[in-house]
Amino acid sequence: MIELVSASRCIKCNICVNICPTNVFDRVPDAPPAIARKSDCQTCFMCELYCPVDALYVAPETDLQTSVNEDELAQKGLLGSYRENIGWGTKRASTAKNDQTFQILKQMR
């Protein structure tokens, strides 16, 4: 579930409000978006991908709330890690071109 909107990183672009498939966030004037309907979060990680400044963290636990510590997440490199893995963001190239599914399916036969 979504656990963090980092107030220090967020640039209040409201992209996450717009793109979350299940409408979890609410816009707040002059402030970072609020996690308004947390229990609707389907843990799809899409908001993380679209946040331009890695201000969001979606914890892997889908049915439970967890508490997170922003500094610790940043230290472990978990803020924006999915974005980095798929090569989204400025000066990165999509890693879709490195998709090695063919190697894996070869082993299936």
Partner 1 sequence: MVSKLTTDWEVDLETDVLVIGGGPAGTWAAWSAASRGAKVVLVDKGYCGTTGCAAASGNGVWYVPPEPQAREAAMASRESLGGYLAHRQWMRRVLDQTYTSVNLLAEWGYPFPTDDEGKPYRRSLQGPEYMKLMRRQIKRAGVKILDNSPALELLVDETGVVAGATGVNRQTNNQWRVRALAVVIATGGCAFLSKALGCNVLTGDGYLMAAEAGAEMSGMEFSNAYGISPAFSSVTKTLFYNWATFTYEDGTPIPGAGSQRGRSLIAKTLLEQPVYAIIDKATEEMRSSMRLAQPNFFLPFDRAGIDPFTQKFPVTLRLEGTVRGTGGIRIIDETCATSVKGLYAAGDAATRELICGGFTGGGSHNAAWAISSGYWSGESAAEYAKTLGHKANQRQVQRVGETAFQPRTEHPHTLATDEVIQAVQAEVFPYERNLFRTEQGLLDSLGRLDYLWQEVRDSQVENKQLIRAREASAMVATARWMYNSALERKETRGMHKHQDYPQQDANQQHHLISGGLDQVWVKSQPIEKTEKTLIGAISNS
Residue from the set 4, 7, 8, 16 that interacts with ligand SF4 by CB under 6 A: 16
Cα(71)–Cα(77) distance, rounded to whole angstroms? 10
Distance from C-alpha of 51 to C-alpha of 62, rounded to nearest angstrom:
20
Per-residue binding letters, 37-76, with ligand SF4 (x by CB under 6 A):
----xxxxxxx---xxx-xx-x------------------
What Å distances lie between residue 28 and 14, 34, 51, 95, CA to CA? 9, 7, 16, 34
Q: Is 6 in the site for partner 1 (CB under 8 A)?
A: no
CB of 100 to ligand SF4, least distance (A): 26
CA–CA separation, 83 and 79 (whole Å): 9
**CA dihedral of 4, 7, 10, 14, whole degrees rounded to 10:** 70
Rounded least distance, CB 77 to ligand SF4, Å: 18
Residue 43 touches partner 1, criterion: CB under 8 A = yes
User: What is the binding site for ligand SF4 (CB under 6 A)?
Assistant: 2, 5, 10-16, 20-22, 24, 32-33, 41-47, 51-53, 55-56, 58
